[in-house]
Structure 1
Amino acid sequence: MVNSIRPTVLVVESSNSNREVICECIEQLNDVEVLSAQSGVQALQIYEAKHPCLVLMEIALHDMDGLALTKEIRRRENSSDQFRPWTAVIFLSSLQDEEVLAKGILSGGDDFLFKPVSEVVLLAKVRAMLRIVAMQQAIYRQHLQLREASILDGLTAIPNRRHFDETLSTEWKRCARAGSPISAILADVDFFKQFNDIYGHQAGDACLKAVANALNESLFRVEDMAARYGGEEFVIVLPGTDLEGAFAVAERMRTAIRELNIPHERGLAGLISCSFGVACMTPSPDNAAKDLIQEADNGLYSAKRSGRNRVCIPPA
């Protein structure tokens, strides 16, 4: 999650009076949201909800020390499934002890302020740290853009073949551990070459975008994924779904494509349609993910031979 454009600073201080003074000082800065907590538990709750840019933390809290709290923040940053932006941590301490300072830095802290805190020094430290945070967030946004470009198909904006292959491999292993089925659907736009010949490549691109969106909108679970497999062919992975369920999803997709009502003078009944092949396997030492895709492809071949605009499973 990316912090909002308006930076958020969390002040964690057990003393009500000290906390109020620090918050009032930081509030002098323009466009800074200031939050406060009086305990480590409360600070973690705010951290999870708000993901502050900067935490000013008393090193000796009543319920846990600041070192343990900082380690927990760093642990959550590093263990998150999604890349999480770095949160700067400045310790507040009344002890000017070099050993404590060293332990604070090793625990994941970034700087120290010794109490009583000078207003001038506090504001200077906060400004400097927020500048660093702003640069880090710019790098984070670039990271997201690059990651998105690497996993999405440039035309249809759904996952590309490479990302699908990675996802299928991951889901195959997960289903193997759980002993659960996994299904795949291959979809192909019927008579697409003729569509391009008649209406042109720009119309063809628009058609593929509409088809991709219809396929994607037909998926109701977050674990299911539709991807562009290449050309006018699409592939869908359905972890934990049996053959009957996958067939129902494919039929819903087939109907959604027809309901786009995209004219095609050489298509079936004058409209764009898709053919679908469906396959299901329970991963075991005797099969592999590529076998699942091959079976779905066999089903797609059957759908094409049987007249198109239909859903087929591979022949027995």
Structure 2
Amino acid sequence: MSALQGATVLVTGGAGFIGSHLVDVLLDRGAGEVRVLDNLVNGTRRNLEDLDGDGRFALLVGDIRDEDARRAALAGAEIVYHLACLGVRHSLHDPVENHRVNAEGTLAMLGSARDNEVRRFVYVSTSEVFGTAQYAPMDERHPTWPETVYGGSKLAGEAYARAFHRTYGMDSVVVRPFNTYGPRSHFEGDSGEVLPRTIVRLLAGHRPLVYGDGEQTRDFMHVSDTASALAMLGTSSGVAGQTINLGSGTEVTINELCAAVAAAVGRPDLVPEHRDPRPGDVRRLLGDPSVMRSLTGFVPQVDFREGVAELVSWFRSSPVSTTDMLARVEDVNWLARAGTP
């Protein structure tokens, strides 16, 4: 029997893009109860609507910084997946709040998880802790020189998770996903990612926007693969105290991404419009996935171009019009919005 079978699991940030897919996988693999703690700032109830009526699922609307919310969410939990955070572009216009949620919030979650004697704590970090690649592929010992407060705050969370393992013996594992994409990915506001934003623009008949020369590279993994890998790390043996990259080991430039989207949309004439580089932009990311493979046997299943075509189809099937979606895309989504301090 799987160690996940019948377990009580908490996913912070579980109403978000990756978190909601992880919840689906955990339930599919036999978890007894999956709770989500999410303040719905970035996440949405819509991502979890298919779970309405499933007695094994519960959404708790609350903030990880609130002690009462943590206590309620953690009661009886055996496995914790900690994904709740504010993103990279948010950190460019509100670095203090970004730090408070990502670093201080993680420290608070670790303390409460220890008090509740959870069996395993999976801290979901990010490849942004590395900054730009100094060599590639980037293994787990690659230097960490984050370009943004987001990367710095997530690195602080990593340090806390490792410290709780070494100081208190907590069974914690740090995982660094590279660039996840797929259905439910964010295109709007300061959460908007390059791939869904590009899809929305092309579906609306607009050229993609590229900041800089477009030769920046990323290591993309489909969300179904990311969620599957994260689920494995909640129960795999030999991973306690480890820091593990989660990437495909394949490098894609932003120019290549735009070409793949244009082909999937059927608009090869919509070539990129280049603008000034974005502040804090990482130049190169390419992960070395060998540690994850050796510890768990995990191998990604979804080819990038196939995944892009699937995501285009998903956006096309949306009940929201492309015009309405485009209106929610912020071209310069790293600046403070009106009314934002």
TM-score (norm 2): 0.20
Higher strand share: 1
Higher helix share: 1
Structure with bigger gyration radius: 1
